Amino acid sequence: MPVRSSEKKLMFRVLIICQVVLLFTTGTPCAGEPPFMEENGKAYYGDAKRGWWWYEKIPLEKRDRDEKVEDGKKRSPRLSDYTMEELWNMYPDDFQAVLMAFQKKAVQVPSENNVREYYVVQDIARRKSLAFANVSAAVMQKYPDLSVAADYPITAPGRNAEVSQRTDEIKSRIRSAREEFALIYFSSAGCPYCAEEGSILSRFVEKYGWEIREIDIEREAAVSSVFGIETTPTLLLIYRGSADHITVSAGVASLAELEEKLYRGLRLLKNEITPEEYSLYEFQRGGAFDVKAPLRRDKR
């Protein structure tokens, strides 16, 4: 049956009304959601500079209860938590932490039981140290090449022999080097220490027969400037025929000190020793005080 024009108009009106209702329903904000307004936009952008990148301090989260309980166990250890075998075989760093924990517990609450438990653990440490010392003594006796006893005796007769050996080597080396080396003594007229050092050098010349050239740094400033001498008295050792030199002493030095430093300076300038071997005597070569002896043995 054909639709009348009046019915068409009615249907068209209903359709228009439905579209209008649908349009308003879609544009209406949801409950609890504030409508977007200019004020909201300003609030958002004004509050944007927050967080870690803007140096905002955020409070740290509290530790879990389980972690607190675990910390409590570490801070308040009990001897029943460990066996003697566990304490004896414990890694040293771990044992040190356990020992300190028992000590702090005993200091915090100095009861008889807490102090006793601390000393039980301390006794383990003492016995372990004694065990190490005993094994060390046995190893040194079994492997004497690891000990310094042969090169540095502790008995009086042994010390006398070692000192005699050192003295003889120093004297012999200094006497044999007087033709290869020269000594220059820098002094100044107003130096109160130069007179004392001068008398010591006189005894040195009598003992070894060296010639020492004395230079006044004020009268011969050019010579002293070449070697950079600013302090008097200063004694300089020069290797003849070369520009190599080394300071023997600066200030007042005893005869024994001069002999020892001169001996070592001679050996350094002749490349008989390296700076690493500065304290080495020739009779100690290959022994406990020869720092490179293990390297030479390894190359054989």
Domain ranges of the chain: 65-137, 156-290
- Mean of the per-residue pLDDT values of the chain: 85
Alpha helices in the chain (DSSP H): 5-27, 38-46, 65-75, 84-89, 92-108, 112-142, 156-176, 194-208, 221-227, 255-269, 293-299
pLDDT confidence band for 170 (50 / 70 / 90)? very high
Pair 76, 98: CB distance under 8 Å: no
Mean pLDDT of 196-216: 94
| pLDDT at position 123 | 98
Nearest to 235 by CA among 218, 258, 205: 258
Residue 32 predicted with pLDDT over 50: no
Query: Could you tell me the CATH superfamily of domain 156-290?
Result: Glutaredoxin (3.40.30.10)
Q: 261-279 pLDDT, tens per residue?
A: 999 999 999 999 999 999 9
67-71, 98-102, 117-121: least confidently modelled range: 67-71
If pLDDT is split at 50, 70 and 90, which confidence band does 74 have? low
Question: Is the per-residue pLDDT at 163 higher than 70?
Answer: yes
